[in-house]
Amino acid sequence: MKRNCWLAVFFLPLLIFSGCTFGNDHEANEPNRSLVRVKNTVDERVENKSGQEIARRLAEIADRVPNVHNAAAIVVGKYAIVGIDVGANMDASRVGTIKYSVAEALQKDPYGANAIIVADPDLYTRVRNIGRQIDEGRPVQAFMNEIADIVGRVMPEVPSDLFETTPKPTEENDGQLNEREERQLNEQQNKQSNEHLNR
């Protein structure tokens, strides 16, 4: 009996203290630990639409932007040219602002990310006329030289360029190597870079 009492006195506190540590989350004890957030890179599901349907959709999106009187679009593969009519008496800086607004609006559309926006009245008319002829059944290939001329004349506002494509590196791993290891790593990287350049 005395032996059982001593065992109970010894094991009871042991069980109580071990129960307190069960399920102890180590992450909760590290409040200064920085987490790295990763952007979800899964592509959104995109319906397959014809170039004419995509062109109409992009023109409608551009047409909804304030100060755009009319818009027309043509689609070649995964790229598009969107012409906007902003009126003849508008200041050039204001036209640039409107083009940027159109680029932001198109950026949110899965088909508009690779669109080139043009606001020149002549180019808008050419885009509109090409779009009409494509709607009438003429193939896009018939207009490739004219489309190349349009693209060559403009400095594009491309929606996919509006956001940063290269995220800033994390500093979490800095300081894991000592000076000698870091020097060796830098020498190895420089050697590999120079070998690549000398090919």
Rounded Cα distance between 3 and 112, Å, is 82
For residue 119, pLDDT over 80 is answered with yes
DSSP state of 110: T
Quick: pLDDT tens for 128-144. 988 888 888 887 777 77
Q: Residue 70: CB partners within 8 Å, gap ≥ 6?
A: 63, 84, 85, 124, 128
Rounded Cα distance between 122 and 198, Å, is 47
Question: What integer pLDDT is reported at residue 186 of this predicted model?
Answer: 83
Rounded Cα distance between 197 and 24, Å, is 53
Quick: pLDDT tens for 74-107. 888 888 889 998 887 888 888 888 888 888 888 8
Place of tokens 């290939």: 141
Q: Hey, what CATH topology would domain 51-159 get?
A: Alpha-Beta Plaits (3.30.70)
For residue 35, pLDDT over 80 is answered with no
